[in-house]
């Protein structure tokens, strides 16, 4: 494969001469969003990709719906394969292949593995399928037809690019930026670049970032093989900050490619201020400080944290949000007790 003028050139052999991208999409009780995401993926101009769709123990009829949907669109997703090339050891216990075509693999888990383990399953399958790049993509996103090409072009020219992201805008306000890179402060809290700004204000084709969000994250295969996947014990939330830090520690750099634009329906899976999301946000935030901050900064953070939590929980109580108070207290208790993984109150 050659790079000419910043783009991969497909030769006469066809799309298979382009780097293979495995797009990993995790579904959890969100079939409407997932189908809308897949419809946008169908319009991609990049020729060599496959979708690995992991159903994370959904209790709705998603599997039947997606199978019917794909079978009606085999002209786009390719013929059904009776014997998918999936090694049994690549599947987690309680998971099975439901449908396989030349361009889509649907795997179902009997239980909710969480964002981390669910995507790790997809990443293992992607690596075994020979993918050159692994793309983590939220099911509640809508991609633009040409979002993938600029990231692949950039990765071809920058072998030290360990993670690549794009500009993520709000689906309900397509010109408003939700994420376009960020940096960590002294306490490893994140500060986002251009948060809420108009996308038309971006004047660079690419720029370096200290973190990439898991909503849309492109991982070169060699980085995955060196660093591994997400931390299973986080279950959900902050796994992208952890992964960004691990990739940087491995000697790679992280970049935002501004021509890679997608749209995100914020908070569809767990909600923005619901007990589930607040619990994991609080607990995993503390876990990251333990993993990456030196002891003196960690203790300074804890002093600040407990003072601000007392104020925050009092505000929740005044508003009658005792569910958030309980979730936050559970998160703090579980952190100090060393409990990780799925929250004991998390149903589904």
Classify the C-alpha dihedral 339-340-342-343 as positive or negative.
positive
Lowest-confidence region among 56-65, 157-166, 240-249, 292-301:
56-65
State yes or no: pLDDT of 118 exceeds 80.
Answer: yes
pLDDT value, residue 87: 67
- Domain 3-264 adopts which CATH fold? Spore Coat Polysaccharide Biosynthesis Protein SpsA; Chain A (3.90.550)
Q: How confident is the prediction for the chain on average, in pLDDT?
A: 91
Rounded CA separation 107/91 (Å): 9
How crowded is residue 223: how many other Cβ atoms within 10 Å of its Cβ? 22
Enumerate the β-bridge partners of residue 99: 106
Q: Cα dist. 159→93, 286, 296, 339 in Å?
A: 35, 33, 36, 38
Q: Which residues, 6+ apart, have CB-to-CB distance to 130 below 8 Å? A: 20
pLDDT value, residue 72: 94
pLDDT value, residue 52: 97
How confident is residue 200, by pLDDT bands cut at 50, 70 and 90? very high
Provide the CB-side half-sphere exposure for 68 (13 A, CA): 6
Lowest-confidence region among 51-55, 61-65, 323-327:
61-65
Classify the C-alpha dihedral 287-289-295-300 as positive or negative.
negative
- 235 with 186: CB under 8 angstroms? no
> Tokens 């449908």 label which residue?
99
How confident is residue 86, by pLDDT bands cut at 50, 70 and 90? confident
Give percent of the chain above pLDDT 90: 81
DSSP 234: G
For strand 182-184 and strand 173-179, is the pairing parallel, antiparallel, or unpaired? Answer: unpaired
Rounded CA separation 286/284 (Å): 5
Closest CA to 83 of 55, 102, 110, 109: 102
- 28 with 58: CB under 8 angstroms? yes
- 28 with 57: CB under 8 angstroms? yes
How confident is residue 272, by pLDDT bands cut at 50, 70 and 90? low
How large is the C-alpha radius of gyration of the chain? 20
Over range 272-283, report the average pLDDT: 90
pLDDT value, residue 211: 97
E strands along the chain, which residues?
3-4, 7-8, 21-27, 49-56, 95-100, 104-109, 133-138, 141-143, 161-170, 173-179, 182-184, 190-192, 206-209, 216-220, 253-264
- 106 with 99: CB under 8 angstroms? yes
Q: Give the pLDDT confidence of 253-262 residue by residue, as tens digits.
A: 999 999 999 9
> Could you give the 3-state DSSP secondary structure of residue 101?
strand
pLDDT value, residue 60: 81
pLDDT value, residue 7: 47
Closest CA to 116 of 231, 14, 194: 231
Q: Give the pLDDT confidence of 7-62 residue by residue, as tens digits.
A: 444 444 466 689 999 999 999 888 899 999 999 999 999 999 999 999 998 888 88
Over range 201-209, report the average pLDDT: 93
């Amino acid at each position: 494969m050659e790079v000419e003028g910043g783009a991969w050139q497909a030769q006469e052999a066809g799309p298979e001469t382009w780097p293979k991208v495995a797009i990993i999409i995790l579904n959890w009780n969100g079939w409407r969003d997932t189908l809308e995401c897949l419809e946008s993926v169908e319009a991609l101009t990049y020729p060599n990709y496959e979708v690995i769709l992991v159903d994370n123990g959904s209790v709705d009829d998603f599997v039947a719906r997606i199978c019917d949907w794909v079978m009606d669109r085999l002209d786009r997703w390719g013929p059904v394969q009776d014997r998918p090339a999936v090694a049994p050891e690549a599947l987690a216990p309680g998971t099975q292949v439901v449908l396989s075509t030349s361009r889509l693999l649907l795997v179902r888990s009997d239980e909710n593995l969480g964002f981390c383990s669910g995507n790790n399953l997809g990443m293992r399958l992607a690596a075994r399928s020979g993918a050159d790049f692994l793309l983590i993509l939220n099911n509640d996103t809508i991609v633009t037809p040409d979002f993938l090409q600029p990231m692949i072009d950039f990765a071809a020219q920058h072998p030290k690019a360990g993670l690549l992201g794009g500009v993520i805008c709000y689906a309900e306000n397509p010109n408003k930026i939700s994420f376009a890179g960020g940096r960590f402060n002294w306490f490893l809290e994140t500060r986002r670049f251009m948060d809420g700004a108009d996308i038309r204000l971006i004047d660079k084709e690419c720029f370096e970032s200290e973190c990439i969000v898991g909503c849309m994250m492109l991982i070169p295969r060699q980085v995955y093989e060196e660093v591994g996947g997400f931390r299973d014990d986080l279950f959900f939330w902050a796994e992208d900050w952890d992964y960004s830090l691990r990739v940087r520690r491995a000697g790679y750099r992280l970049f935002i490619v501004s021509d890679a634009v997608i749209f995100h329906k914020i908070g569809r899976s767990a909600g923005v201020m619901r007990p589930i999301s607040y619990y994991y946000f609080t607990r995993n935030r503390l876990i990251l400080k333990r993993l990456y901050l030196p002891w003196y900064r960690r203790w300074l953070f804890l002093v600040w944290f407990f003072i601000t939590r007392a104020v925050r929980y009092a505000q929740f109580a005044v508003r009658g949000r005792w569910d958030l108070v309980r979730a936050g207290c559970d998160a703090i208790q579980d952190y100090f007790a060393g409990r990780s993984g799925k929250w004991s109150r998390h149903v589904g």
